[in-house]
Structure 1
């Protein structure tokens, strides 16, 4: 057994004394010479909606399959409520998985699909039927119990797969991009239902997705992964507002990324400049010193446009294009002698959207705290 590892500073955002459901310690996964996971360490707490987020091929599904027992751990260890589970086969782990493909039995009714796994676990037909009925009620499909899977919509089939996974009352439920096959409107509705279901059951959910908005909508915490490595772990707001590096800032939502030079650091504030002589001030970041060339992230919604500068550090430029996006308007601005910026403004009656003709000289103004220096 591996020794108790020190807790990562990124994990301090959760309340102390919370029971750990899944503890991944220095987990490595190799396929021949290829390393899919590189010493991943993270803790997932009991009754938490935890999301593994990253692009295709980053290792998130590999980690999920290792927790489920479908993949062996090359190095390191995985613990379930303090007990090592590396040697346990999948059917011996109190963990269930919902996959992208719901894999419902086409010749069985909805109720039979949900109860089948319970019978395989040795439950009597009566108990399996009763618990399957409870699970269908939980996902609001009781009225479809006698239907066949082919008579259901995609969203209803997804709920049946959820009910089947919840019926055995697992300690942990793994969800491998279960919403990816649904259309946008249904996917958004199911996001809300999944989060409600997790709170109602108290089961630890571990959700895999490449959709940033999906992760931000549902998660208590998010682990952002890239190339088999953990880039950042934290609550949704921390991940979005305080990204640690260029990858996280660029992958989570939309941002303006630019290279800046740090001129001075005073009172916890960093004075920087970018191309064209534009000067900016933002919160300093540990490890960055005067003279350093680093990246800065500026979220488009934290910027606003005006005809005249409204503060000392307003950036000047010309409007290249305005794009109407329904709720917002995105304005593309070419800074004088510098990079291109995107500014997003709300189209509501209380919003700050204004119309500028292409070529109009404008000032790009920043909310206080909008700039974020990044450790590359």
Structure 2
């Protein structure tokens, strides 16, 4: 079986989909992962065949025609619309390279991340089932509507009137944290993955002091989220703990000289998380789910509006402490870290989530579900026919 994975344009959303792609390849299926040229090193370092389909990066969608950064709206609804339009433009760029790819290499099924809106369109073009793969614990649906509006000409070109619905939804959110109106889904255990590096003993062992990790995710650049990371480090560096700062190596170097109790750089979360007592983070999907998978309580500061919802759910469950971005003073963050360290219930509730996640089907368990979906797509009456460009 040929499976085409259509990935998002940044490392975080790629990390979440890699385990299923690896499992499908290990099961003997032909797997391609398509995306922009700039993320191909992330794909290929995961041992997956990567197909670049555009030279336009996800970050390029944040620029206007003159190369100037488009102001990000402060109003929440407008922010969702802005995000959706950016993802729609990203998808349109990917489609131009996806059409010739599927002409030469027709897939049997297409799998795409929740915000990889080129996936349902290229599945419709190829006449095969589309599988939507969750990359975190829920995206606002307003983003989908704005992306569909941005993709109007692409839909018209394919003779479609709206975005194709998925034939299967693969959800990594633990059942206890799913929203009441979440769509039916094939559950799948979240398997933490990051681009690996050679391990050193300190990464998988810890000393006598509490170990606290601080991260603002893997996507930071000098112009994107670096100020958030630098501010977080400054606010907690005085604590009497062993402090780990997770960031790309070049961004960690920009933090300048740090106290002796701090290690900063590209840290493999899947290795380090089991040694941590608390993880302070920006509520990014992979960081949150990766911490949950290892039963580590968190201090969440949801700087992006769309992550407030699942940060609230995790906090109400008792496995994290949430701080609103406007309240993220040094005193508030350090008090929250101390509360989580000193209150056993946070780790107990985080441990309950870990056990729940361990009981979910693995990516290897989900591969046969993809096989059956592809088979139904070939044999069921009314199966989608290949859509020709108009």
The TM tier, using the shorter chain, reads: under 0.3
Tell which has more relative contact order, 1 or 2 (C-alpha 8 A, sep 6+). Answer: 2
Larger helix share, 1 or 2: 2
Larger strand share, 1 or 2: 1
**Scaled by the length of structure 1, what TM-score is found?**
0.28
Larger gyration radius, structure 1 or structure 2: 1
